[in-house]
Structure 1
């Protein structure tokens, strides 16, 4: 399907297809990246308490001068905070210096202690139920809730025991980590998919892939444009490339239509070059139901 500028969530809200990701962006650089991105057309900003940069993101939002109601802002509940979601929500709002979130995600279905160990006293599903309550009771503070890094197994459990269908599932998604079973389940249930690490994460290894280079030459664009556009060409999928460099931020906003045959060729990369950059192997929790990783 052709690339889209927005996707529609099951809440009725529209979410820009391309957003600025801030994972692993170094302190002192995030504020400028957010400000610059917003000043140059971005309207979708993604962060998380675990990234340790919510305050900088908030400063970038303010310095951009873009009205808050024009920005789609996402942050995530941290694993050690899953026993205190209400307090965690208030912390994020204060750090971001914003009255509300457009989207609040459970970062991982893996409750942890502050020293990085599995917290077996907490069931992530109970935490989701608390997020549901906060969403319903505070529509002025939370416009939508969703999940991140949920496999088919975890999604099925959530859907069978919840009153709110997640608005999104944010997962690692690129030609070497297609996670098609997760995407298909989300699409069938009206859950949007947000693709993170579209270039293959640190070092952007997929930028050197022969198929990507060939298609970049065919379409007359940068290799990164091919990888970002691949996600934008999928049904109800949006994408979060990240950068703190001005020219790269601008380049990442460009998306093109890709022929279906070329989409198929990109998707075939996983047959010979499969990898996952963000391993879901939390200590004490196993691999969280994921089977498609190396």
Structure 2
């Protein structure tokens, strides 16, 4: 196996302060069966070191199989899974089942997939903190939470999530939301980077043509310049590799500002 590319990382706020999350990972939503296992294995073989799954994806066993088949040591892979909102109150049982399916004794990041019943639910967040402190999880966070809900968790427990995984793309760009997360020490992790992007936007097409890359690669490079974690999903080997090639795509400050303008005003 060749030396993997150096994917940039972001430090997550944890009690130990030693958790670094790769900014680029492989998403596995809607990846099913052997297809999911093959995608994870291929991604790890070509240099990915971050894989995102969830209990709700019903593919944790296949993600675990792909990890095992890749031969990449467990401690070199950043592994994320998520608690379904209807599992609030059954946090320990749900996590233990995730670990069994994934074939590991811990995950690197565990997220509350959606606010249970639309509420912040500090009791679930406290259970996350307890299981993290037991060593079953290295870092904890949320997904699809508002800033107000994050503040509710912070007020109730004194600890904000390390990560908030939310829909993110140039169309979603909002400097105020970026600033609100940064002020609370919360890393933004974006999902659906392509589905939510207008790939016909002139600025994206112009930059892609000028740099000899795809519009999708420009979008991923924009995420990395903002240090927003991004997890494009694919089961196609060529596309998995192309997404990783974004590490060689350079965007100037002016390029980034032009792309930012596709989103909401500051």
- The answer to whether TM tops 0.5 is yes
- Counterpart in the other structure of 2:31: 25
TM-align CA RMSD? 2.0
Structure with bigger RCO (C-alpha 8 Å, 6+ apart): 1
Residues 82-91 or 181-190, more deviating: 181-190
Equivalent in the alignment of 2:219: 227
In the other structure, the counterpart of 1:182 is 177
| Selected match of 1:153 from 124, 148, 151 | 148
Q: Unpaired runs of 5+ in structure 1?
A: 112-117, 273-294
- Does residue 1:142 correspond to 2:137, yes or no? yes
- 1:208–1:25 CA distance, 2 compared to 1 (3 A): farther
- The equivalent residue for 2:3 is none
Normalising by structure 2, we get a TM-score of 0.90
2:204 to 212, 220, 229: 212
Matches for 1:204-283 after TM superposition, within 5 Å: 206-235=198-227, 237-253=228-244, 254-255=246-247, 256-270=249-263
Task: Tell me how far 1:4 sits from its aligned partner.
Answer: 6.7
Contact 1:146 1:169 in 2 (8 A): yes
Q: For 2:158 and 2:96, how far apart are their aligned partners in 1?
A: 23
CA change 1:155–1:170 in 2 (3 A) is same
How big is the shift at 1:228?
0.5
Q: Are the structure 2 counterparts of residues 266 and 80 from structure 1 closer, same or farther at C-alpha, using a change threshold of 3 Å?
A: same
Please state how far the C-alpha of 1:163 moved relative to its aligned partner: 3.2
Provide Cα deviations, 1:163-205, integer angstroms capped at 9, x if missing partner.
333111111110111244332111112221111111125xxx5
Q: TM-score, normalised by structure 1?
A: 0.82
Aligned residue for 2:45? 39
Q: Secondary structure at the match of 2:137?
A: coil
Q: Which is helix-richer, 1 or 2?
A: 2
Whole-angstrom CA distance in 2 between matches of 1:207 and 1:27: 30
Q: Residue 142 of structure 2 aligns to a residue in which SS?
A: strand
Alignment length, in residue pairs? Answer: 255
Q: Which runs of 5+ in 2 are unaligned?
A: 1-5
